[in-house]
Structure 1
């Protein structure tokens, strides 16, 4: 199975999202966070993510004759590289992008379903900006964004912190115009 298929499976994607903050979790702890995933499915998908090396087992604890595994995200395997996507067809790219954006919409819908929402207080937003950048300026921009993320990525959860999912999509403008796509 391709790494992208492993990661972008609907249940596995949700499991991976639970580890984006760098925390370790047992299956029992994870089950409390994703209550709608049946236990057998959760264990099967955890196993698939470990076999694909997207998750790693950091500890194994003996508990009353059974072994409780502690899982963590293997960031290097959970990140898509240009090698991972180089042979994808246009249709496959679109399929995976639509899945990604559908997951964003699902997360946003879950946020909107809460009783007490406040965009400003919760830091919720969505926006687009157009930046005119040379290739070198764009690479500097990407490095700068990476530095900003790196500054905060190791923050540990505590009662004063809210986990926020930050997603990025970068698409260059179609220089041929919309009519170019219709030909």
Structure 2
């Protein structure tokens, strides 16, 4: 199974999302946050993620005759590069994109289920902008964006911090020729 197939499994995708804050977790901690996933399924999917090198076991603690494993995300393993996706057909790309947007929709639906939603207070928003950039300018934009993400991804969970999900999609907009060309 390739890296993309490993990550895009619905349960494994949700497990990986739990680690995007850079924190380590045990299966017990994950079970408390992912209550709708059966324990046997959770352990099976954790094992698959470890075997695929997506999650790393960083500690093993002896607890009442059992070993409790502490998992950490192997960030380079979940970073999709061109080599990871270039072999996919158009249909496979569309399936993976639809899965991504479905998960994004589910996250937004969970937010909307809260009793007191307040977009301004919670920093919730969605928008689409068009940037007119040369290939070089676009690469600089991506590098700048990565620097910003890296700066803020260093912050660890704390009582005064809210976990926020930031999702980005970028693609060129192919348009027909203009009349003045």
**Class of the TM-score when normalised by the shorter of the 2 chains:** over 0.9
CA distance in 1, matches of 2:79, 2:151: 19
CA distance in 2, matches of 1:75, 1:176: 39
For residues 69-88 of structure 1, the aligned pairs below 5 Å read 69-88=69-88
Q: Where does structure 1 lack aligned partners over 5 or more consecutive residues?
A: 178-183
Residue of structure 1 in register with 2:127 after alignment: 127
In the TM superposition, residue 175 of structure 1 has moved relative to its aligned partner by 2.6
For residues 6-85 of structure 1, the aligned pairs below 5 Å read 6-85=6-85
In the TM superposition, residue 39 of structure 1 has moved relative to its aligned partner by 0.3
Structure 1 segments (4+ residues) deviating >6 Å: none
For residues 144-163 of structure 1, the aligned pairs below 5 Å read 144-163=144-163
CA distance in 1, matches of 2:114, 2:39: 25
In the TM superposition, residue 81 of structure 1 has moved relative to its aligned partner by 1.1
> 1:68-93 deviations in whole A, cap 9, x for unaligned?
00000000001111111010000000
CA distance in 2, matches of 1:134, 1:58: 43
Residue of structure 1 in register with 2:164 after alignment: 164
1:94 aligns with 2:105: no
CA distance in 1, matches of 2:80, 2:143: 17
Task: Report the count of equivalent residues.
Answer: 177
Give the TM-score, by structure 1 length: 0.95
Match of 1:175, SS state, is coil
In the TM superposition, residue 176 of structure 1 has moved relative to its aligned partner by 3.6
Match of 2:58, SS state, is strand
CA distance in 2, matches of 1:42, 1:101: 23
Q: Where does structure 2 lack aligned partners over 5 or more consecutive residues?
A: none
In the TM superposition, residue 174 of structure 1 has moved relative to its aligned partner by 1.6
> 1:88-147 deviations in whole A, cap 9, x for unaligned?
000000010000000000000000011111101110010000000000000000001011
